[in-house]
A and B are shown apart, each in its own frame.
Chain A
Amino acid sequence: MATQHSRSAARIMISPAVVLLLAWMIVPLVLTVYFSLLRYNLLMPGTERFVGFLNYKLFYQNPAFWTAMLNTLLLVGGVLIITVVGGILLAILLDQPIWGQGIVRILVIAPFFVMPTVSALVWKNMFMNPVSGLFAEFSKAVGLAPFDFLSQAPLASIIGIVSWQWLPFATLILLTAIQSLDSEQMEAAEMDGASALSRFWYITLPHLSRAITVVILIQTIFLLSVFAEILVTTNGGPGNASTNLTYLVYARSLLNFDVGGGSAGGVVAIILANIVAIFLMRMIGKNLDA
């Protein structure tokens, strides 16, 4: 039983973390919302004034905003499909009896530890470059014209790069979940003559459903904020073809110095992330009771 004394000690021990996080959350958040209601441009200091929801209206009417929203959804959705499907297949493959399993696992998870700017630049220059990239070499070798990935299909190329970074994460989590599957259940099903496909469909997949949900939710949080990969490969271009919401806000505020407009975009990003966060928090909260 905790005494009154240890309870107040506990409160003191916890307060630095709480106060810091509270400040970190509230101060910028309030400022962002406040800025979003101002006409505020860093190039015109002293001209700030309250404009209500004008920035939101301008955003709403700006086709670049809708392109960015669509790109954000395509980027998140595309990467999720590739990494979840790929992750399930890979996790099953790595769960089989194979020689050198530990080494293969290390090879598979390695991309997750590569910093975003390195992986994006390596893919951009050494693989996707239409003149001297490896893909261009390969095209030449089989007699095809080289494809200029980042200008012909910028968003798809970025989806590819980001998927490469996140596939290890999905694989690792799903593999952890698969390994907790009761092997006796599998053997029983196998003896009863269930095919590999139906064993996968009726036993493995339901067992993985929770881990899959966690992977989807956590990746979505991170994928909504993809930034470095876009900055170093396409700068959001050509045009707005690979601009997501995060990059749009960055370009608005730090490249065009439009603090008001950028903040309005930031508020939209916060709302989007919160929709996902609510579901994720519920799942984690449930686990906390157990």
Chain B
Amino acid sequence: MARAVSTRRKIGFTIAAWAVGLAIFFPILWTILTSFKTEAEAISSPPSFLFFDWTLENYTTVQERSNYFRHFWNSVVISLGSTVLGLIIAIPAAWSMAFVPGKRTKDVLMWMLSTKMLPPVGVLIPIYLIFRDVGLLDTKTGLVIVLTLINLPIIVWMLYTYFKEIPGEILEAARMDGATLRDEIIHVLTPMAVPGIASTLLLNVILAWNEAFWTLNLTAAKAAPLTAFIASYSSPEGLFYAKLSAASTMAIAPILILGWFSQKQLVRGLTFGAVK
């Protein structure tokens, strides 16, 4: 027996852990529940937890009144667009740093990371003015460009740490067998690199979806993704709890589901390999 655990101890820890877990999750659960209430029930006192007339009217109202799906679509385009563009730029860079490291590879990596440390507010004004002058304010293109650039260091780093784990001997063996660089990339590296690329894609879609500094400052009505659209509920509109909840639930549900699949990658991606 490695470690005998008394059942009583396990019960105690289980209750404590579930209590804490549910408490932390409660605001999300409450939002989801409220989204199915009528506005009157949403502010009823005392609040009803489960026993209310479940309704979907908030979801339809939110869509009708504010064209919700346009903002949802903006979020999809911006987060996927910036991630894919980022991958296209980052894959060759990470590949060459992992497999053909030079003397300055480490410096380049560290320098890329340092660009991520630049506080957005330090460059907000020039970017805003440049975007205004070239007509990129409140466009999806503009946001894709900015989000690609702010997440590029994370994408390069994540890919680098994954590529680093692909053993170099395999490449050498392939070369011995007369594989060209093209064969090497298509038949040897790609299959081994796909899981790492997929994880990177996942984490970056999450980060881009939730990004709320640039999206708030560079968009107005037209290109606003969900982060900026939901912010419009900070007006008295937000007091319609059921509608706020419906809009919020739809905004967080896709990412909540994706996020649960990416727990491991999250640690790796956000600590730049410092904790594994």
Contact = CB atoms under 8 A, between A and B. Distances in A.
Interface of A: 2, 6-7, 9-11, 13-14, 16-18, 20-21, 24-25, 27-29, 31-32, 35, 90, 93-94, 96-101, 103-119, 121-127, 129, 132, 134, 137, 140-141, 164, 167-169, 172-173, 176-177, 183, 187, 210-211, 214, 218, 221, 224-225, 227-228, 231-233, 245-246, 249-250, 253-254, 259, 262-263, 265-267, 269-270, 272-274, 276-277, 280-281, 283-285, 287-289
Contacts, number: 318
Contacts of B251: 115, 118
A10 B126 contact: no
A249 B89 contact: no
Given A117-B227, A172-B263, A18 B108 contact: yes
B124 A253 contact: yes
Contacts of B113: 281, 284
Contact of B46 (A18, A117, A137, A231): A137
A286 to B, nearest CB: 9
A214 B270 CA distance: 10
6 contacts: A113-B252, A113-B260, A183-B3, A187-B3, A227-B121, A270-B119
B213 A122 contact: no
Contacts of B149: 20-21, 24
A97 B227 CA distance: 38
B100 interface: yes
B18 to A, nearest CB: 6
A227 B213 contact: yes
Contacts of A7: 100, 102
Interface in B207-237: 209-210, 212-213, 216-217, 226-228, 230-231, 233-234
Nearest to B18: A104
A43 to B, nearest CB: 14
Given A126-B245, A228-B216, A93 B17 contact: yes
B163 interface: no
B210 A269 contact: no
A221 B117 contact: yes
Interface in B228-276: 228, 230-231, 233-234, 238-239, 241, 244-245, 248, 251-252, 255-256, 258-260, 263, 266-267, 270-276
Nearest to A99: B14
B80 interface: no
Interface of chain A, main secondary structure: helix
Given A21-B112, A107-B22, A122-B27, A31 B126 contact: yes
Given A10-B102, A14-B96, A14-B97, A225 B121 contact: yes
A276 B116 CA distance: 12
Interface stretch (B28-36, B55-63, B192-200): B28-36
B144 interface: no
Contact of A114 (B5, B13, B256): B256
Nearest to B240: A125
A16 B93 contact: yes
A176 B217 CA distance: 35
From A121, A284, A287, residue with most partner B Cβ within 10 Å: A121
Given A17-B90, A218-B271, A227-B213, A269 B46 contact: no
B118 interface: yes
Contact of A245 (B46, B102, B121): B121
Nearest to B5: A97
A155 B81 CA distance: 36
A6 B125 contact: no
A224 B121 CA distance: 10
Contacts of B43: 132
A129 B34 CA distance: 15
B127 interface: yes
Contacts of A134: 30, 47
Given A96-B17, A113-B252, A116-B227, 9 more contacts: A6-B100, A9-B96, A13-B93, A13-B96, A17-B152, A25-B118, A132-B241, A183-B3, A287-B273
A110 B230 contact: no
Given A114-B252, A140-B45, A164-B24, A253 B206 contact: no
B25 interface: yes
